[in-house]
A and B are shown apart, each in its own frame.
Chain A
Amino acid sequence: MAEPTIYEISSQDRIGFRFPACDVPETALPEGLIRDELPMPEVSELDVIRHFTNLSRLNYSIDSGYYPLGSCTMKYNPKINEEVARLPGFAFSHPLQPVETVQGNLAMMYELQLWLAEICGMAGVTLQPAAGAQGEYTGVLIIRAYHHSRGDLKRTKMLIPDSAHGTNPATSAMSGFEVVGITTDANGNVDLDALKAVLDDTVAGLMLTNPNTLGLFDQNVEEVIRLVHEAGGLVYGDGANLNALLGIVRPGDLGFDIMHFNLHKTFSTPHGGGGPGSGPVGVAKHLVDFLPFPLVGIIEEGDEETPPLYGFVRPEKTIGRMKSFHGQFGMMVRAYNYISMHGPDGLRDIAESAVLNANYLLARLRNTYNVPFDRICMHEFVMEGHLDDAPDVHALDIAKRLMDYDFHPPTNYFPLIVHEALMIEPTETENKQTLDRFADVLIKIAEEARTNPDLLHTAPHHTPVGRLDEVRAAKELVLCCWLPDKI
Chain B
Amino acid sequence: MNIPTNLKYTNTDEWVLVDGNTATIGVTDHAQEQLSDVVFVEITVNVGDKLAKKTTIATVESVKAAADVNLPVSGKVIAINEDLPQTPELVNTDPYGKAWMIKVELDNPAELDALMDAAGYEKHTKE
Contact = CB atoms under 8 A, between A and B. Distances in A.
B121 interface: no
A49 interface: no
Nearest to A471: B37
Contacts of A473: 63
Nearest to A470: B63
Contacts of A470: 63
Interface string A446-479: 0000000000000000000000001101110000
Contacts of A471: 37, 39, 62-63
Interface residues of A, number: 5
A474 B61 CA distance: 10
Interface in A145-164: none
A211 to B, nearest CB: 27
Interface SS majority for chain A: helix
A471 B35 CA distance: 12
Interface in B21-48: 37, 39-40
A474 B38 CA distance: 9
B54 to A, nearest CB: 15
Interface in A417-473: 470-471, 473
Contacts of B88: 475
Contacts of B39: 471, 474-475
Nearest to B61: A474
A470 B39 CA distance: 10
Contacts of B61: 474
Contacts of B63: 470-471, 473-474
A397 to B, nearest CB: 15
Contacts of B40: 474
Interface string A350-362: 0000000000000
Interface string B61-72: 111000000000
Of B37, B61, B88, chain A has the most CB atoms within 10 Å of the CB of B37
A475 B37 CA distance: 10
Contacts of B62: 471, 474
A473 B37 CA distance: 12
A462 to B, nearest CB: 24
B62 to A, nearest CB: 8
Interface in B76-122: 88
A470 B63 CA distance: 7
Nearest to B37: A471
A102 to B, nearest CB: 45
B99 to A, nearest CB: 16
Contacts of A474: 39-40, 61-63
B80 to A, nearest CB: 22
A177 B88 CA distance: 32
A473 B88 CA distance: 14
A17 B21 CA distance: 71
A475 B39 CA distance: 5
Nearest to A413: B64
A409 to B, nearest CB: 16
A473 B63 CA distance: 9
A474 B39 CA distance: 6
A473 B62 CA distance: 11
B86 to A, nearest CB: 11
13 contacts: A470-B63, A471-B37, A471-B39, A471-B62, A471-B63, A473-B63, A474-B39, A474-B40, A474-B61, A474-B62, A474-B63, A475-B39, A475-B88
Question: Which 5 residue pairs of A and B lie closest in terms of their CB atoms, listed nearest first?
Answer: A474-B39, A471-B37, A470-B63, A475-B39, A474-B63
